[in-house]
Amino acid sequence: MPKVKIPRKSTNIDMTAMCDVAFLLLSFFILATKQKPPEVLAVQTPSSVSSKAVPDKSIIITLTKDGRAFLMLGDETKKPEVLANINLTKGLGLSAAEMAKWGKSEFIGLPFNQIKSSLSAAPIPPDKLPGIPISDSTNNQMVDWMRSISNVYAGGNQSDLEKMILIKGDNDALYPVFKSIKDAFTKNDIYKFRIVTNGEAVPPGSELANSAKAANK
Amino acid sequence: MAEMDTSSGGGHKKGPGVKKSKKQSTRVDLTPMVDLGFLLITFFVFTTTMSQSTAMNMNEPKKDTTNQTKVKNSGAMTILLGKSNQVYYYYGQLDPTKLSEQFKSTTFKEIRNLIVEKKKATPLGDLMYIIKSDKQSTFKNAIDILDEMTICDVPPGHYAEVDLPEAEAKMIEQTEQANGIK
């Protein structure tokens, strides 16, 4: 019987294709990952069953555990206008250079009377900032901020602004602080806003789950 | 793919004095590079935390003192939020002679059943949940109770947040002292 010859094949596999795939996936993941917006301080948000995504370029009011409030203007085009409006209405007396410097800071967490002096001094780390004064109803500076914001955004659609205003509060923040922020909104005729929460599944067996099931049938 | 054409073009003959240089393969072993690629992928996948931030809509009532909504006593349920995640509730209006019977305390776990019970027992037109938050309650409590309304599928407009009157704040305080809640 003739011997069956098995041709010896090289075990070298061409890795080029695999390499291509690997780096393609890598670049996809890097590009598809959305950068987390910067945070003043770590905040543990409450959870809700809402599933709406947080929009970009939003105005975020952060409420920390110890009751300090910070403002973050996400829209870089509108930010200088808001700051200029505040400078004008509150008579902060900032020069153009100071305004430019102020525009670079990501968070606003100082009372009006400290802004000018803070711009010439060394920057204060976010966790040391005193926050915007809100707890005193006679000196609720969030009212002034919201007025400037609604003035600047006045040309646009009101419902767009409503979607952009977000309150990001810590679980342990006390209710009165939240209340004074709500007061700042209502004083400026803003009645709709949003709250940043952690997504949560609808509890099975609850009324909402049942009605969602009925709607799907 | 990763090889280059190393054959000398045309195959023309070189002169007798020219030595034939040894042809070296330009094939590179790409295995380590693949390893590196997948390593980076796994690194990125594991370090990325999915941010599940969602936005909850919130509507504040317009301050309109001339047009206040009247609520039927039979359809009203008032939910009060106290400190340490305590929840108090009563139906209808507080009757000063029957305070201890009306004013009950509960927890966030049980409030859902109470909300659903009330919803089932009351015709929708009369149904109204009134939410009042104490100074000691937290932001989480305020959001949780609104979320609870969504979970119980209470239609919007049938629940409202109202300021806590002084008398009821005292009642919460007394109950908290009696129950030993710090």
Q: How many CB pairs under 8 A join A and B?
A: 163
B62 at A interface, C-beta within 8 A? yes
Q: How many angstroms away from the CA of B93 is the closest CA of chain A?
A: 24
Nearest CB to A18 within list B34, B40, B152: B34
Interchain CB distance below 8 Å, A169 and B143: yes
Q: What's phi and psi for B53, nearest 5 deg? A: -65, 130
Q: What pLDDT sits at residue B66?
A: 59
* Domain definitions of chain A by residue range: 57-199
Q: What pLDDT sits at residue A213?
A: 73
Q: Which residue of B has its CA nearest to A31?
A: B44
Nearest CB to A15 within list B30, B58, B136: B30
Integer Cα distance of A23 and B41 in angstroms: 8
Instruction: Write the pLDDT tens digit of every residue in B107-143.
Output: 777 888 888 888 887 777 778 888 888 888 888 888 8
Could you give the residue ranges of the DSSP H alpha helices within chain A? 16-32, 79-89, 96-104, 112-120, 141-152, 158-164, 175-187, 207-216
Q: What pLDDT sits at residue B68?
A: 64
Q: Which residue of A has its CA nearest to B43?
A: A26
Q: What pLDDT sits at residue B52?
A: 64
Q: Going from the N-terminus, what domains does chain B have, and what CATH number goes with each?
A: 73-179 (3.30.420.270)
Q: How many angstroms away from the CA of B49 is the closest CA of chain A?
A: 10
CB A197 within 8 A of CB A47: yes
Nearest CB to A191 within list B2, B59, B146: B59
N- to C-terminal Cα separation, chain B: 73
DSSP-assigned beta bridge partners for residue B81: B87, B133
Query: A14, A76, A168: which is closest to B33 by C-alpha?
Result: A14
Residues of chain A with pLDDT below 50 are: none
Q: Which of A164, A175, A178, A202 to mutate to test the interface with B (most CBs of B within 10 A)?
A: A175
Q: Which residue of A has its CA nearest to B2?
A: A16
Instruction: Write the pLDDT tens digit of every residue in A19-53.
Output: 888 889 888 888 887 766 666 677 777 777 777 77
Interchain CB distance below 8 Å, A33 and B143: no
Distances (CA, A) of B155 to A36, A73, A211, B152: 34, 33, 12, 9
Q: What pLDDT sits at residue B44?
A: 84
Integer Cα distance of B82 and B107 in angstroms: 10
Nearest CB to B151 within list A30, A197, A203: A203
Q: What pLDDT sits at residue B64?
A: 64
Q: How many angstroms away from the CA of B98 is the closest CA of chain A?
A: 29
Q: What pLDDT sits at residue B84?
A: 80
The B residues from 92 to 151 touching A (CB cutoff 8 Å) are 112, 116, 119, 133-144, 146-147, 150-151
Q: Which of A12, A15, A137 to mutate to test the interface with B (most CBs of B within 10 A)?
A: A15
Integer Cα distance of A30 and A36 in angstroms: 13
Q: Which residue of B has its CA nearest to A48?
A: B147
Integer Cα distance of B129 and A190 in angstroms: 23
Nearest CB to B37 within list A26, A169, A173: A26
Nearest CB to A49 within list B60, B62, B147: B147
A29 at B interface, C-beta within 8 A? yes
Interchain CB distance below 8 Å, B54 and A198: yes
Q: What pLDDT sits at residue B9?
A: 47
Per-residue pLDDT for chain B (182 aa), expressed as one digit of tens each? 455 555 444 445 555 666 667 777 777 788 888 888 889 888 888 877 666 677 777 777 776 665 666 777 777 888 888 878 788 888 877 777 777 777 777 877 788 888 888 888 777 777 888 888 888 888 888 888 888 888 888 877 778 787 777 777 777 777 777 776 66
The B residues from 71 to 100 touching A (CB cutoff 8 Å) are 81
Q: What pLDDT sits at residue B33?
A: 86
Helix (H, G, I), strand (E, B) or coil at A127: helix
